[in-house]
Amino acid sequence: MRPARSRPRRAGARRGVVPPGPWPLENVLNALPGFRVKSDFGLFAGECALYRPKQVSKPTNFSEQPPSLPPRSPSVRAVSALRALHWREVSAIQEIWLCEGLCRSGMVSCAGDLLAVVVWVCFCGVRVDLRKVVKMVKICCLGAGYVGGPTMAVIALKCPAIEVVVVDISVVRIAAWNSDQLPIYEPGLDEVVKQCRGRNLFFSTDIEKHVSEADIIFVSVNTPTKTRGLGAGKAADLTYWESAARMIADVSKSDKIVVEKSTVPVKTAEAIEKILTHNSKGINFQILSNPEFLAEGTAIQDLFKPDRVLIGGRETSEGQKAVKALKDVYAHWVPEDRIITTNLWSAEISKLAANAFLAQRISSVNAISALCEATGADVTEVAYAVGRDSRIGPKFLNASVGFGGSCFQKDILNLVYICECNGLPEVAHYWKQVIKINDYQKSRFVNRVVASMFNTVSGKKIAVLGFAFKKDTGDTRETPAIDVCKGLLGDKAAISIYDPQVTEDQIQRDLAMNKFDWDHPLHLQPMSPTAVKQVSVTWDAYEATKGAHGVCILTEWDEFKTLDYQRIYDNMQKPAFVFDGRNIVNVDKLREIGFIVYSIGKPLDAWLKDMPAVA
């Protein structure tokens, strides 16, 4: 593929007709092998003229088959439809009629198909008035975060005929998305962004312009837990969502589909719908719920091959039309049987329920891990035996220091609050236990560390390996490492931290920030407070562990499995301890080296048996 070229827009060119900004169609066409868009007229005015490549000669004999479309064309159906027609008939038909006719007959069902037809017709040397035949879909996403950025990048990659613009109120974040150093670390993300940025994927702070031009608006902004007022500590704070909705209503001049991508309480769509319709100036807004199920660390893989895409909409004909429009976007790469459509409220509850179920599995196995330690059983063996039951399954049964991440706790608290508001205290209490066990697991871990070291870590150096909430991400939101470090600092430990993806600045902010403050846009978080003095951060595991009394493994990074533990042992104070919060080290090998090892839910070292830790 030839790299997409960008052309500066001619100032003032054909005002009133020219769509603002470069039309992505030009980039799409230029990216097709053998095509070059004539640059001195046309596209900005809605016309398309192509130079046919020299090596392809125009068919002079009309009985010849028309040239085939370039490989990987977005349209298979349209091509086969056209191939079924005789070439002479095709060329005799008015090309506009051809395209409109194909649309009406249902043979062409989306912009991608239509684009392919246009390309095909142009290839045959025919000029087409694109204003009449192509209605390009334009997507705008509010929020360039962990969800908005990767999700939109994948949509842009899979739908080259759709223009995708991701906007954010954070200037720094957008600048990072436009640089070589993306603001989030996610395996495979760099490659996806590189392939489509500047072609049909754009990052911008010009929010109002792109919202007003978009056909479909995804809202993927923060939905933090409220820290004050009604529902504090549980309910979702919808400030950012509401301000986004009001802005959409303000700047819109054409009908829009507004898609909830953020995780929101049930019935949020109804509230948003009210804001939009009460301020709509006659514009039709359709609200859809399309919760995101990606997992950080495997986001790109999850987006490429989702278990399911869930779309909830109103059961009216307008609502169903909107559902179909969004379904058509995903249908570019997601098999139809994986796209589930439902009503708005079911979609909203499904997201909260899915996260609650996942977190509940972790708390269940963690609860069993405490029992295993007390009885001498091995939680890994127990989890394996339990997971072999096909009704239960093996995934998400690893005992650990606890779950983290931006979603699980927040979504469960939200669920608890909604249950309470709906007069269901028993249900609320049930889900609250999932969080209680998670907190119990973290304090149990800290108590093990302190109890093993003669009941005090005051002035002792504790090395922390891993700060992110899981491997393959730099995300530290609600990471168990924060609570474990705070617990150790409470006992006056000196902590030395190494994580391959997390910066010192981030760690210092996390340790000094109040609970839930992290879930606000970067520039609106409380100013970075003074650094915690007893904490140092290095970029080297051996440096972090040098001279330490104990090592706590808090993230399951693969590289921690293959560290030279003999070298680490040799450079530590004795007795040397390893507290494995992710069950990744070879316990027997480490004990052979001389370490006293604590591994969650595993038979205890004799040393630890004598020093029981109660949370």
Ligand X SMILES: NC(=O)c1ccc[n+]([C@@H]2O[C@H](COP(=O)([O-])OP(=O)(O)OC[C@H]3O[C@@H](n4cnc5c(N)ncnc54)[C@H](O)[C@@H]3O)[C@@H](O)[C@H]2O)c1
- Show which residues are catalytic: 407
For position 584 contacting ligand X by CB under 6 A, the verdict is no
- The site map against ligand X for 222-261 (x = CB under 6 A) is xx----------------x--xx-----------------
Residues contacting residue 268 through CB under 8 Å, at least 6 positions apart? 238, 241, 260, 348
Calpha distance 121→90 (Å, rounded):
9
Residue 505 class from Cβ within 10 Å (0-12 exposed, 13-18 middle, 19+ buried)?
A: exposed
Positions 169 through 188 that interact with ligand X (CB under 6 A): 169-170, 173
Closest CB to ligand X among residues 414, 583: 414
Q: Which of 78, 287, 407, 434 binds ligand X (CB under 6 A)?
A: 407
Shortest Cβ 298–ligand X spacing (Å): 10
Residue 498 annotated as binding? no
Residue 145 annotated as binding? yes
Calpha distance 75→408 (Å, rounded):
40
User: Across-strand partners of 550?
Assistant: 462, 577
Angle separating helix axes 480-490 and 504-512, nearest 10 degrees: 70
Closest CB to ligand X among residues 235, 585: 235
Strands 577-580 and 309-313: unpaired
Q: Which two tokens stand for residue 173?
A: 């974040």
Q: Which of 521, 536, 593, 603 binds ligand X (CB under 6 A)?
A: 521
- Total binding residues for ligand X by CB under 6 A? 28
For position 189 contacting ligand X by CB under 6 A, the verdict is no
Shortest Cβ 103–ligand X spacing (Å): 34
How much is the CA Rg of the chain, to the nearest whole Å?
28
For position 292 contacting ligand X by CB under 6 A, the verdict is yes
For position 476 contacting ligand X by CB under 6 A, the verdict is no
Cα-based distances in Å from 151 to 226, 386, 404, 407, 455: 26, 34, 21, 17, 48
Q: Which of 220, 286, 369, 479 binds ligand X (CB under 6 A)?
A: 220
Containing H/E element for 152?
helix 148-158
- The site map against ligand X for 488-517 (x = CB under 6 A) is ------------------------------
For position 221 contacting ligand X by CB under 6 A, the verdict is yes
Shortest Cβ 270–ligand X spacing (Å): 17
Residue 229 annotated as binding? no
Instruction: Give the largest CA-CA distance in the chain.
Output: 93
For position 579 contacting ligand X by CB under 6 A, the verdict is no
Residue 297 annotated as binding? no
Residue 154 class from Cβ within 10 Å (0-12 exposed, 13-18 middle, 19+ buried)?
A: buried
**In the Cβ-directed half-sphere of 195, how many Cα atoms lie within 13 Å?**
16
Q: Which of 262, 350, 380, 506 binds ligand X (CB under 6 A)?
A: 262
Containing H/E element for 140?
strand 138-142
DSSP 332: T
Shortest Cβ 329–ligand X spacing (Å): 18
Binding site for ligand X (CB under 6 A): 142-148, 167-170, 173, 207, 220-223, 240, 243-244, 262-263, 292, 294, 296, 406-407, 521
Binding residue positions for NAD(+): 143-148, 168, 173, 221-225, 262-263, 296, 407-410, 477
**Residues forming the annotated binding site?**
143-148, 168, 173, 221-225, 262-263, 296, 407-410, 477
